[in-house]
Amino acid sequence: QQSPTKHTADYGEPQQLNQYHTREISRADKALLTQAGIKGVLDNVGDYGAIQMEEGRALENEEKDSLKASVVLIQFLAIKASRHAIFRDSIKPFDIGHDNYELPQKVYFTYNFFDLPTTKTETISLEKPQGAPSDASVLKYGVPYYLVREAYLKTGTDTKEPILRYEIDPSVDQQFSRHVDFAKYLYAKSLTIDIWDAESLMLFGSVKVPLRELMRQGKQITIYSKEFDIIEPNFMRSKGSLQVLLKNVGKQPVNELPKK
């Protein structure tokens, strides 16, 4: 059966999967995100060679850094639907099957970052792209649906963007090697982010975010934005993609560290 959800043809197909389910955000999407008032998507200053660097050398560069503390910001930008997405308001019984799936209109994210407690975000709404028809059954695929804090939509106060902040400071609680452990974590690990439908409370999909590009390698700041395929829990297909902006800002520790 053909889905009743109408797709606008002028936006084309979503980008194809690659081996790592990761890609750069396209120039067109960056322009749309910037027009929507989202800052930072044009400020990619990441990598610094750490991606291809041997582990020992990359970790040595991190340990030599005089800015031993780090502030990491994770900002959720947008979700892009694939062509098989259907809005809940337009679903009929025969629509949900192997090909079609329900696109949440409200989500929240859960993940474990470094050695910190599990993060569960507040409820975040999908905002229609600029120029999207008011008809609820019309869904544009291949374009970003901006992510906006539900609290902002209700009150109009505080920040619009969902941004999570984490501070890693080896001088706190006498965890003097914590910056080294954090560098090892960034080099070797990926961050698994689970995306949940905030209304049905069902898992929508997951993304894996490689973290090596967050290594500062002696610089004061690193910023990068990428797009990650949302993989269904049974790993059978992609259900669109998640666009994320990550930032690592170096700073002096709150307390003085002991000299070696």
Q: Per residue of the chain (260 residues), what is the pLDDT tens digit? A: 333 344 333 333 333 444 447 898 988 899 888 888 888 888 876 665 677 788 999 999 999 999 999 999 999 999 998 888 877 655 454 455 557 788 899 999 999 999 999 999 999 999 887 666 555 555 667 788 999 999 998 887 788 999 999 999 999 988 888 999 999 999 999 999 999 999 999 999 999 999 999 999 989 999 989 999 999 877 678 899 999 999 999 999 988 888 76
Q: What is the pTM of this model?
A: 0.85
Count of CA atoms in the C-beta half-sphere (13 A) of 46: 23
